[in-house]
Amino acid sequence: MDRRSYQGLIVPIALLVLAIADFIYLQPLQFINALTIGGIYALIALGYTMVYGIIELINFAHGDVFMCGSMVTMAMLTGLGFRGAIHQPIELIAILIATFLVAMVVMGIVGVIIERIAYRPLRNAPKLAPLITAIGVSFILENIIQAVVGPQQISVPQIMDPQSQVSFLGVDVSFVKLFVIFIVIALMIALQLFVGRTNLGRAMRSTAIDREAASLMGVNIDLTIALTFFIGSALAGAAGVVQGLYFGTTNFQLGFEAGLKAFTAAVLGGIGNTTGAALGGFIIGFVEVNATVLGYSRWAEAFTFTVLVLVLVFRPTGLLGQQLAERA
């Protein structure tokens, strides 16, 4: 085994050891909680990392896209007249599929519109300009939602009964959590297949590597970038649905913190690297749950940002390394 592949194994093995140690230390219930919360962060982080990978922009509005996704879920479920859990399996499945589809498509379109209006005209401008519009878009989204639904906590109908439990790994776990973990992993696999196996995915990867060369090879750059925004925002929309199903509550300021943590996750895993973003999301979930279990829940956010600063200082390419070339 040569040195390179040996080095590549260090990170996964260290993480595996840590995960096992954590599993022994934490209650299995908390372990599942960490996976669930981490899954939401991972979904949001995927959008950050895809957009950064392709146009090198920290899309500050992405957290708010996630928040809007949870609002769409709320609006749809409340509008359909649901108040609590649905107990008929077929109806439940149909409603779940419909909710995910609507939230993902709506947020995907919102993402494309944001890119078209706020980012595309500035693609060749100094780097500071799109960063500033991104912050502006984030404000606009938050305030529109605040104007529509108000500043208070808003409850989302929990159509999956939080009381219904299944036995998993020897403990009773609520069905919602397992479903969330399942849906997160399914979406990630779908994304990997799309990016890795389809022509559009190949166009995205080549645009990320060298935009001009890709366009010379016949890739439609504008379309590819719009597609990236669509997929990233749709994943954030899915995360919004998951937020609604799992926590049953949302708020117009939800996106700010979630976005910050998800970005941390993306950097932690290696920005531009979709596998890394997923991994980073789960790690952030574990950091938070561990902090809570240790009795430092008020410091959980501080821990997260400390992780971010430490990663940037000691391993700026992230745990799994960047897929894009490092530039000055």
Partner 1 sequence: MNGPQRLQGGRAPLRLLPGSLRRRAEGFADRHQSLSVIITVVILGLLLPAASQLPILNGFGHINDYVDGYANAGVFILLALGLNVVVGLAGLLDLGYAAFFAIGSYTYAFSASPFSGLALPFWPLLIIGAFVAAIFGILLGAPTLRLRGDYLAIVTLGFGEIVPIVFLNSDTYTKGTNGISGIYQPSLPAIPGLPAFDLPLIGHFNGTLGGSFGFGNPWPYYITVFAIIAVAVILLYRLQDSRVGRAWMAIREDELAASAMGINTVTTKLLAFAIGATTSGLAGVFNASKLAFVSPDQFDFTVSFTVLAMVVLGGMGNIWGVAVGAFALYEIQSVFLKQLTIFLHPLGVPVLSSIDFVQYQFLLYGLALVGMMLLRPEGLFPSRQRKRELLAELKGVDEAEPEFAPDEPAVTPEEPHA
Give me the residues that bind partner 1 (CB under 8 A), please: 56-58, 117-118, 121-133, 135-140, 142-144, 146-147, 151, 210-212, 256-257, 260, 263-264, 267, 298-299, 301-302, 304-306, 308-309, 312-313, 316, 326-328
- As measured in angstroms, the least distance from the Cβ of 144 to partner 1 is 7
- As measured in angstroms, the least distance from the Cβ of 320 to partner 1 is 17
Q: Closer to partner 1 by CB, 22 or 301: give it.
A: 301
Give ∠ CA 92-96-99 in degrees, rounded to 5: 140
Q: Closer to partner 1 by CB, 98 or 302: give it.
A: 302
- As measured in angstroms, the least distance from the Cβ of 241 to partner 1 is 25
Q: Closer to partner 1 by CB, 12 or 316: give it.
A: 316
Q: Closer to partner 1 by CB, 36 or 49: give it.
A: 49
- As measured in angstroms, the least distance from the Cβ of 5 to partner 1 is 27
Give ∠ CA 213-235-199 in degrees, rounded to 5: 35
Q: Is the dihedral of CA 12, 43, 51, 288 positive or negative?
A: negative
Q: How many helices (H) does the chain have, and how many strands (E)?
A: 12, 4
**Treating both helix axes as pointing N-terminal to C-terminal, what angle do 254-269 and 62-79 enclose, rounded to 10 degrees?**
130
Q: Closer to partner 1 by CB, 29 or 122: give it.
A: 122
Long-range contacts of 221-229 (CB under 8 A, 24+ apart): 222/120, 224/54, 224/200, 225/54, 225/55, 225/115, 225/120, 226/112, 226/115, 226/116, 227/200, 227/203, 228/50, 228/51, 228/54, 228/55, 228/204, 229/51, 229/108, 229/111, 229/112, 229/114, 229/115
- Selection from 159, 158, 181, 157 nearest residue 92 by Cα: 159
**43, 58, 110, 190, 305 from 237: Cα distances, Å:** 9, 18, 10, 15, 24
- As measured in angstroms, the least distance from the Cβ of 26 to partner 1 is 23
Q: Closer to partner 1 by CB, 12 or 150: give it.
A: 150
Q: Closer to partner 1 by CB, 15 or 129: give it.
A: 129
Question: Residue 84, class by beta-carbon neighbours within 10 Å (0-12 exposed, 13-18 middle, 19+ buried)?
Answer: exposed
- As measured in angstroms, the least distance from the Cβ of 134 to partner 1 is 9
- As measured in angstroms, the least distance from the Cβ of 132 to partner 1 is 5
Contact 181, 36 (CB under 8 A): yes
8 CB contacts (<8 Å, ≥6 apart)? none
- As measured in angstroms, the least distance from the Cβ of 270 to partner 1 is 13
Q: Closer to partner 1 by CB, 110 or 176: give it.
A: 110
